[in-house]
Amino acid sequence: MPANLLIYGGLLATAAIWGGSFVVMKDAFEKQDVYSFLATRFLIAALIMIALKPGVFKGLSKIFVIRSVIAGCFLAGGYTFQTLGLTLTTVSNTGFITGLYLVFAPLISWIILKRKFYKAHGLAVFCAALGLYLIAYDGISIGLGEILVLISAVLWGGHIVILSEWSDGKNNYALTLIQILISAFILIVLSLSNGYQVPPDFSVWNAILLTAIFATVLAFFMQTKAQSVLTATAAAVLLAMEVPFALMFGLYFNNDPLTVRIALGGSLIMVGMGLIIWWDNKSKNLRNVRD
């Protein structure tokens, strides 16, 4: 299989895993505090990765560790501000505003880092953002909750840019693990400040283990690996497929409603994904020229 298909497939698998994780976590969040759930999930994920490769930290440079810690802070910050915002606004508002990382990632890359921004990428971002709007937008009144979620979207957009800039393809395992460790530490502190809750039953433990193994260890490793090759804009559009995947899983497992508007929105996100793949292959834009 061509290397580029593996790259796209890996990032789409990441989006599918994250989309499916909403179904897994939905019932767990009704039984356990969100910060406690996330803290346990990320801690177990970190322990699994250390157990699988105990010598992972050997030979790492200081600059690599610093960059990995920064990436972890952006990742944990995204979860933190999203969770804080979710307590103060609606789920639909949270879903729509969070998805704006799709716009923030290319903006950060273009405006701050002066990276090239191709017209095809712009069209792909527009299609995917419009699709997200059709799926998730339900009217927004700007308040503290919405502002906090918007901050999380900026942080996740920054996280995508950081991985595209700093993931060199040589130490993906270590980069992934350090991000997860930093996230675990921050989330544990937050959970303790609110009173940590032990997972109450087997169903919650099951959700934690599934999301730790698949949505954390496997998904973040695949994202880090793929972003050693893809631009931030391409990665953001491909990761936006998380939304259609979440809809498909919700439709199949929870009998969620499917409307024409939602179907059109999902189709537009897929069009954006297709544009990214077509352009990157047409222009041989894997490992984009960065000057």
How many angstroms separate the CA atoms of 92 and 95, rounded? 5
**How high is the pLDDT of residue 132?**
79
How many angstroms separate the CA atoms of 226 and 231, rounded? 9
**How high is the pLDDT of residue 285?**
55
Pick from 9, 48, 7, 29: nearest CA to 207? 29
Mean pLDDT of the chain: 85
pLDDT tens digits, 232-253 = 888 888 888 887 887 777 776 6
Kindly tell me if the per-residue pLDDT of 5 is higher than 80. Answer: no
Question: Which of 26-35, 72-81, 211-220, 241-250 is predicted with the least confidence, judged by mean pLDDT?
Answer: 241-250
pLDDT tens digits, 7-50 = 888 898 998 898 888 778 878 888 999 899 999 999 999 999 99
Contact indicator for 243, 12 with CB cutoff of 8 Å = no
Residues 6+ apart with CB under 8 A from 58: none
Q: What angle do CA 276, 81, 11 make, to 5 degrees?
A: 25
Tokens of 61: 């440079």
How many angstroms separate the CA atoms of 32 and 186, rounded? 18
Tokens of 172: 């993906």
* Higher pLDDT among residues 19 and 254, named by residue: 19
* Higher pLDDT among residues 70 and 59, named by residue: 70
How many angstroms separate the CA atoms of 32 and 6, rounded? 37
How many angstroms separate the CA atoms of 281 and 4, rounded? 8
Would you place residue 289 in the very low, low, confident or very high pLDDT band (cuts 50, 70, 90)? Answer: very low
Which whole number is the average pLDDT over 103-113? 87
**How high is the pLDDT of residue 113?**
82
The residue to which tokens 């804009």 are assigned:
233
Q: What percent of the chain has pLDDT over 90?
A: 39
Residues 6+ apart with CB under 8 A from 159: 71, 74, 75, 78
Distance of CA 126 to the CA centre of its chain: 19
Q: How far is CA 185 from CA 51, 64, 194, 276, in A?
A: 18, 19, 15, 35
* Higher pLDDT among residues 283 and 173, named by residue: 173
Helix ranges (DSSP H) in 53-99:
62-86, 91-98
How many angstroms separate the CA atoms of 260 and 266, rounded? 10
